[in-house]
Amino acid sequence: MTSAPKRRGMVQNDRGRTKNILKGRKNRFRSLIMLGLVAFIMLSPQAREMTIGKIGDVKEFIMNPTLGYLVYDIEADYTLNRIITLENQDLDTTEYYNETFPISQDIYALEGTGPIYTYTDGTPDTPNQKIQD
């Protein structure tokens, strides 16, 4: 019959022998895999450069707490594609087609360039607004 364990990590098997389960056995295969990985990284110039570059980026990010948030350029292109088929049913050849479609007013262009929208019905042009202050 087994007795209660006396020290941390020590257990007794069914034959009465004690064994420390906190000590991991050395796995020779795992050691060879890790050795091969480290050798590949250190012998391959591309892998070494990439690994050292990533480590340098992480160190720089950790060491500089004033970096704040990353700012990305705001750039977008909007395209409106429509296929419209019109047919004139009468003999009068002077026909007009008017279409109204909504355009979001929160689309901004760069300051100092032409207007955002140019209207053909006499409405004054909408001036550009700043993207960022």
Cα–Cα distance for residue pair 97/61, rounded to 1 Å: 58
pLDDT (mean) for 51-75:
75
CB contact set of 128 (below 8 Å; sequence gap of 6+): 108, 109, 110, 111, 112, 113, 114, 115, 116
Residue 52 Cα to chain centre, angstroms: 22
Average pLDDT in the chain: 74
Determine what percent of the chain is predicted with pLDDT higher than 70: 63
Per-residue model confidence as pLDDT tens digits over 21-41? 777 667 788 888 889 988 888
Instruction: With cut-offs at 50, 70 and 90, classify the pLDDT of residue 18.
Output: confident
Cα–Cα distance for residue pair 128/133, rounded to 1 Å: 14
CB contact set of 47 (below 8 Å; sequence gap of 6+): 40, 41
